[in-house]
């Protein structure tokens, strides 16, 4: 197809389709090729610059039936022409993020993390945003607005400080106050960057008669705090130019060590569950679009056994949020399908993705295509969060995990509430007990306290845990700036509920609700010590969720209820590449399960699980056929519900061996995938 005609067709399709219709997507910097044809609804083609022009890469995916979106980094990317002066005749390497030693923080060769100056934003809009829209893209994803906590020493940042605060620059390591003010400026700079970039995109699109949609793929507030990065996060809810988010959660973010009962170790499932919950709670009150990301591998080299185990943990965690049914199924399929990693821990044998893992992964991602929403029961117990968690440089997050993990380990699906969203009507909907501390975060404005006090007055139960003795209590902020003169921000909150400043531990009535003060460190928190919270604990150590025919389960360890979860029914194990059918099975403590309940399947014949995506499905009284597509060099495993045992099975006209399970009335097939399609025919 000629390029002008293809672009015209793309624009016509864009007018009829939107990201709201996209359940599954993925990102790649490559054009289409058969080994990375994931069969998602859409592809986010990454970066304007590349060996192959953006327009050609977009066309290659459009020709294969994909909706084409665009993604690039806002804080880093292939912007060499800006830094070397090719764009405006001036070098701009002084606009990289620089640490105390004077070293630029690099994302790659000639790819520094960026101080987003006004000049950089002008370049970004003119050279990247405009070109993308001209190429027919109406959905733009600007990922990872990130400013490292260790940075803040470049000349560009110093100029931004003086413009923002009107005072001489101060190094972040000087004091707690300087660190806090440094982080607050970094937060502002990427808030401004996204506001300007997206506002430009929408205005330019309108000038062409098109509606441009703008999204922010971002790590969770939990991870950014752990990795010592500052980002606008929940404050973006105040920007009308932001249409939604991708929750960038995967093994690499979720395996960061955390503390529980004084023990520091990896808790991948638990951290992932809290990370997804953090993003879901940040987005839900705004009504904006949200995709959940998982990654079958991770950025740091590991082995295939490690990748598989932790992918299963994060994949399960995302499914336990039934209100979300849109997913980025993977980033960078080229590294998943084509790169070499060790087979097992300590192994010197390097290989591409093992066939059984590839098949299992594709069954999982295809399940996302069919994953329905389900009613979300509000979290009766929730933990309050604020963007200022990123300001205090407390990478251990002991305060947050000290409040959240004791509930989660008991099987309580603890929720999260973002302080920046308290003005939204639904922010505290369904929450009976809210836990908070100012040990590792601070309120950015007094209005949040008014919302909290009103919620308590109407019947809420607020638990405040903390000694208020950290040095950040005294930073230059609204609570200690004339005319206010509070020793700690909590004193302002307490005053609104008629509780004296510095009040000791105890319970204080206010309106129909109550404030409980615990003068202890959050990491020492014990939920059983608070009667109204203890009553909410299920004490099963288990999380379960049904979503149509899918049954999701996770069993906690490190608790007294750590016993296997017994499940009965007619269940296909989607985490086993043999897709076995069980009538009784168990999920062990510290592990997770994903099952397809055959009793809830549609009427036969029907595909229940497959490592491919089906098209052209045809049913008759004695025959069932379809075309299935999947990446080259992988195997399709499929379990199909039939009215009777098949008399024959064929793939592309050739006989295909099959296994029949009489009890479930399902047939199992295994054959090579093809991006061009394999024709499957069954007769009985």
Provide the pLDDT confidence category of residue 18 given band limits of 50, 70 and 90.
Answer: low
450 within 8 A of 444, measured Cβ to Cβ: no
Other Cβ atoms within 10 Å of 339 Cβ, number: 13
Helix 447-457 crosses helix 489-496 at what angle (to 10 degrees)? 40
Quickly state the pLDDT bin for 169 (edges 50, 70, 90).
very high
- Model pLDDT, residue 1: 38
Cis preceding-peptide flag for 182 (omega within 30 of 0): no
How many angstroms separate the CA atoms of 178 and 393, rounded? 12
pLDDT, tens digit, for every residue of 500-531?
999 999 999 999 999 999 999 999 999 988 99
What is the rounded average pLDDT of the residues 640-656?
97
Q: Is the peptide bond before 483 cis (omega within 30 degrees of 0)?
A: yes
Is the separation of the CB atoms in 656 and 623 below 8 Å? Answer: no
Gap between the Cα atoms of 232 and 187, Å rounded: 5
Distance of CA 355 to the CA centre of its chain: 27
Q: How far apart are CA 244 and CA 218, in angstroms?
A: 10
Please check whether residue 107 is in contact with residue 148, taking contact to mean a CB–CB distance below 8 angstroms.
no
Using pLDDT thresholds of 50, 70 and 90, give the confidence band for residue 121. very high
Q: State how beta strands 542-547 and 513-518 pair.
A: unpaired
Number of H helices, E strands in the chain: 17, 36
Task: Write down the H helix ranges in 96-229.
Answer: 118-124, 130-134, 155-165, 176-207, 221-226
| CA dist., res. 25 & res. 19, Å (int) | 10
Report the share of the chain in percent with pLDDT over 70. 97
Element (H, E) at 336: helix 333-338
| 330 close to 295: Cβ distance less than 8 angstroms | yes
Please enumerate in sequence order all residues whose Cβ is within 8 A of that of 140, keeping only pairs 6 or more positions apart, or say none: 69, 70, 71, 129, 132, 133, 198, 201, 212, 213, 214, 215
User: Is the pLDDT at 548 greater than 90, yes or no?
Assistant: yes
CB atoms closer than 10 angstroms to residue 363: 25
Region of 196 please: left (phi>0), alpha (psi -120 to 50) or beta.
Answer: alpha
Residue of 36, 48, 42 whose CA lies nearest to 24: 42
pTM score, two decimals?
A: 0.95
Alpha carbon distance 179, 471 (integer Å): 11
53 CB-near residues (< 8 Å, 6+ apart)? none
**What is the average pLDDT across 324-352?**
96
Dist CA 293 CA 545 (whole Å): 19
Where residue 19 falls among pLDDT bands split at 50, 70, 90?
low
Q: What's the CA gap between 628 and 614, in Å, rounded?
A: 4
Is residue 371 scored above 80 in pLDDT? Answer: yes
Q: What is the mean pLDDT of residues 355-372?
A: 98
Banded pLDDT at 2 (limits 50, 70, 90): very low
HSE value, Cβ hemisphere, 13 Å, CA-based, for 239 = 26
Give the pLDDT mean for 11-28: 70
Asked if the peptide bond before residue 329 counts as cis, ω within 30 degrees of 0, the response is no
CA distance 188 to 117: 12
Mean pLDDT of all residues in 647-676: 98
307 close to 298: Cβ distance less than 8 angstroms:
yes
User: Residue 208 CB: number of other CB atoms within 10 A?
Assistant: 11
User: In this structure, what token pair is assigned to residue 310?
Assistant: 């932790």
| Separation CA 539–CA 562 (nearest Å) | 10
What is the per-residue pLDDT across 401-417, written as a single tens digit (0 to 9) for each? Answer: 999 999 999 999 999 99
Cα–Cα–Cα angle for 512, 538, 515, nearest 5°? Answer: 25
B/e letters for 423-433, b = 16+ CB within 10 Å, e = fewer, are ebeebbeebbb
| Domains of the chain: residue spans and CATH | 1-220 (no CATH), 381-534 (3.40.50), 542-600 (2.60.40), 606-683 (2.60.40.1180)
Report the pLDDT averaged over residues 189-198: 98
Q: How confident is the model at residue 542 (pLDDT cuts 50, 70, 90)?
A: very high
* 181 touches 237 (CB < 8 A): no
Tokens 């934003």 correspond to what residue? 121
Beta strand extents in 61-118 (DSSP E only): 67-73, 106-108, 111-112
Answer yes or no: are the C-beta atoms of 222 and 258 closer than 8 Å.
no
Q: Which residues, other chains included, contact 283 with Cβ-Cβ below 8 Å and sequence gap of 6+?
A: 244, 245, 290
Percent of the chain whose pLDDT exceeds 90: 91
Name the token pair of 422: 């308290």
Q: How many CB atoms lie within 10 A of CB 582?
A: 16
Mean pLDDT of the chain, nearest integer: 95
What mean pLDDT comes out for the span 55-82? Answer: 97
Other beta carbons within 10 angstroms of residue 153's beta carbon come to 20
More confident residue, 20 or 245: 245
């Amino acid at each position: 197809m000629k390029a002008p005609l293809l672009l015209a067709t793309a624009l016509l399709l864009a007018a009829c389709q939107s990201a709201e219709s996209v359940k599954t997507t993925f990102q790649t910097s490559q054009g289409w090729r058969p080994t990375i044809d994931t069969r998602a609804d859409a592809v986010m083609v990454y970066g304007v610059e590349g060996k192959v022009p953006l327009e050609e890469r977009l066309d290659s995916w459009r020709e294969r039936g994909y909706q084409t979106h665009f993604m690039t980094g806002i804080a880093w990317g292939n912007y060499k022409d800006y830094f070397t002066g090719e764009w405006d005749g001036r070098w701009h390497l002084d606009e990289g993020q620089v640490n105390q030693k004077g070293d630029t923080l690099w994302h790659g060769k000639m790819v520094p993390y960026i101080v987003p100056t006004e000049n950089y934003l002008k370049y970004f809009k003119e050279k990247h945003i405009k070109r993308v829209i001209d190429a027919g893209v109406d959905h733009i994803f600007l990922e990872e607005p990130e400013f490292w906590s260790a940075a803040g020493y470049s000349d560009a940042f110093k100029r931004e400080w003086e413009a923002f605060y009107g005072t001489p620059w101060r190094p972040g390591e000087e004091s707690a106050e300087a660190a806090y003010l440094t982080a607050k400026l970094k937060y502002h700079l990427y808030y401004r960057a996204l506001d300007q970039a997206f506002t430009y995109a929408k205005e330019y699109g309108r000038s062409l008669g098109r509606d441009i949609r703008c999204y922010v793929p971002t790590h969770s507030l939990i991870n950014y705090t752990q990795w010592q990065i500052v980002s606008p996060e929940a404050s973006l809810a105040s920007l009308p130019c932001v249409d939604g988010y991708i929750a960038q959660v995967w093994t690499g973010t979720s395996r960061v060590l955390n503390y529980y009962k004084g023990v520091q170790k990896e808790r991948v499932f638990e951290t992932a569950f809290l990370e997804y919950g953090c993003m879901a709670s940040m987005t839900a009150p705004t009504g904006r679009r949200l995709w959940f990301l998982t990654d079958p591998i991770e950025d740091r080299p590991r082995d295939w056994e490690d990748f598989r185990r932790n992918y299963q943990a994060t994949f399960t965690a995302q499914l336990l949020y039934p209100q979300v049914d849109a997913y980025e199924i993977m980033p960078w399929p080229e590294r998943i399908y084509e790169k070499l990693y060790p087979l097992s821990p300590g192994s010197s044998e390097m290989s591409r993705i093992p066939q059984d893992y590839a098949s299992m992964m594709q069954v999982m991602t295809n399940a996302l295509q069919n994953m329905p929403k389900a009613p979300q029961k509000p979290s009766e117990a929730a933990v309050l969060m604020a963007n200022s968690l990123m300001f205090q440089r407390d990478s251990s997050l002991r305060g947050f995990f000290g409040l959240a993990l004791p509930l989660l380990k008991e099987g309580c699906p603890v929720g999260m509430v973002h302080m920046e969203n308290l003005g939204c009507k639904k922010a505290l909907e369904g929450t009976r007990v809210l836990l908070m501390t100012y040990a590792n975060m601070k309120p950015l404005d007094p209005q949040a306290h008014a919302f909290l006090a009103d919620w308590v007055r109407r019947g809420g139960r607020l638990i405040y845990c903390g000694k208020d003795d950290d040095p950040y209590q005294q930073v230059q902020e609204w609570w200690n700036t004339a005319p206010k003169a509070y020793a700690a921000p909590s004193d302002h909150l307490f005053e609104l509920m008629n509780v004296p400043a510095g009040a000791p531990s105890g319970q204080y009535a206010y309106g129909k609700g109550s404030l409980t003060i615990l003068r202890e460190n959050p990491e020492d928190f014990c939920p059983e010590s608070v009667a109204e919270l203890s009553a909410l604990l299920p004490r099963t150590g288990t999380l379960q969720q049904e979503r149509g025919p899918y049954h999701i389960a996770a069993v906690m360890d490190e608790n007294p209820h750590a016993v296997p979860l017994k499940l009965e029914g007619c269940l296909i194990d989607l985490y086993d590449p043999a897709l076995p059918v069980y009538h009784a099975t168990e999920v062990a403590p510290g592990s997770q399960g994903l099952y397809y309940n055959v009793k809830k399947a549609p009427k036969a014949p029907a595909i229940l699980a497959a490592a491919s995506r089906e098209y052209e499905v045809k049913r008759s009284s004695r025959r069932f056929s379809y075309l299935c597509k999947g990446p080259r060099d992988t195997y399709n495993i499929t379990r199909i519900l039939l009215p009777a045992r098949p008399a024959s099975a064929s793939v592309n006209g050739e006989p295909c061996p099959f296994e029949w399970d009489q009890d479930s009335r399902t047939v199992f097939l295994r054959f090579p995938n093809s991006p061009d399609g394999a024709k499957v025919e069954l007769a009985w």
